[in-house]
Structure 1
């Protein structure tokens, strides 16, 4: 299946199904791009710095997608 065929099929889905697809893809990308964490090193740094803006923005995007998915179901 080509990307073009996949895009055409995705556009034929209902709005709620497309939002679910977007959420699934976003979660997949977040998992793949999340760096591997070494627990030993992180435990020594706990509390030194605030959470990164990128992670909080990703959480906000996921929450917004969830909100829209529920709204349009």
Structure 2
């Protein structure tokens, strides 16, 4: 997985943790950060999105990265 995708995944996870740990009073604020989250998530590879539960993975999306991994490992 490219470093840029890993970094985006880390940022998305941190934002998610921050939102879950906010006091209930602050959760009524506008959902501008959700739009930014959606944009960040949509820029990720579909396989990475499936890791964080955004899209259900298709069999081909799951096989291709694994095949690439095996080809690199045993090349």
Short-chain TM bin: 0.3 to 0.5
Q: Whose radius of gyration is greater, 1 or 2?
A: 1
Give the TM-score normalised by the residue count of structure 2.
0.38
Q: Quick one: higher RCO (CA 8 Å, sep 6+), 1 or 2?
A: 1
TM-score (norm 1): 0.38
